[in-house]
Chain A
């Protein structure tokens, strides 16, 4: 059961990722990313991290993707030119990606961490649920939590400044 769920979610995540980079229309890329994010939420649940899975669905698939859909609808998806600044870029890039994957896999599987080939230790029933994460965020990690809230505020102000209509730019 667990294996079937893992492979279904892995195929969904990978299929969504390939859709993102393969589709010419950016709207389909956004839809592919939504599939990818939902599959990742399933994987997070398999790793017993309920809060991260819920935040993934609510924050990413809910809020961020709606923002993407709005901007794609505003800007409009045009076809990309086939002009390549570096000759053979379209053939070299997948080779480079394959090399990166092999390198990362060697780094992971060759790290001789014994716990890698286990399911992880047995954890208590409340592992990774919202209460545990909230306690960690408000006790041990209070400073990073507050810093991230300041970062969010700055990003919101920056986006308003960047996207605001400017008088002198119109003239």
Chain B
């Protein structure tokens, strides 16, 4: 398979994740859609690394994976804290950012 196919698939997955962020209300599902977008970026990075024939792009993908794991941990911690305070788990109701 040529590299173009992987890159177009990556663009398609990225747009799917962006649509999910726009139409969903639950912060948990929005975090999942963020994961989709980060993984689409990873696919593009690995495809470019293969295109150049240099493994350094894969290091970038591994670091992106680390950052995604950190983001998930902090985001899920926030969701648990919101749930403990009996606030609604809905990004439209939580837009005021007050304690």
Contacts and interface: CB of A to CB of B under 8 A. Distances in A.
Chains A and B come from one and the same complex: yes
A18 B79 CA distance: 23
A30 to B, nearest CB: 7
B77 A158 contact: yes
A71 B70 contact: no
A72 B28 contact: yes
Given A17-B17, A40-B39, A93-B22, A115 B33 contact: no
| Most chain B CB neighbours (cut-off 10 Å) among A6, A63, A78, A100 | A100
Given A71-B76, A75-B80, A162-B77, A119 B3 contact: yes
Interface residues of A, number: 89
Interface string B12-32: 111111111011111011001
A81 B80 contact: no
B8 to A, nearest CB: 6
Interface in B57-89: 58-59, 61-63, 65-74, 76-81, 83-85, 89
Contacts of B47: 47
A161 B9 CA distance: 39
A116 B51 contact: yes
Interface residues of B, number: 69
A116 B18 contact: no
Contact of A148 (B26, B63, B71, B85): B63
B48 to A, nearest CB: 9
A48 B20 CA distance: 30
A59 B69 contact: yes
A158 to B, nearest CB: 5
Given A44-B43, A60-B68, 11 more contacts: A3-B1, A21-B20, A26-B28, A33-B32, A43-B9, A93-B19, A101-B12, A108-B11, A123-B53, A163-B77, A163-B84
21 contacts: A3-B1, A21-B19, A29-B32, A36-B39, A49-B61, A74-B83, A75-B83, A80-B90, A83-B92, A96-B22, A100-B14, A101-B14, A115-B52, A116-B4, A121-B53, A123-B53, A148-B63, A148-B67, A155-B73, A159-B74, A162-B77
Q: Which 3 residue pairs are nearest across A and B when measured between Cβ atoms?
A: A21-B20, A97-B19, A155-B70
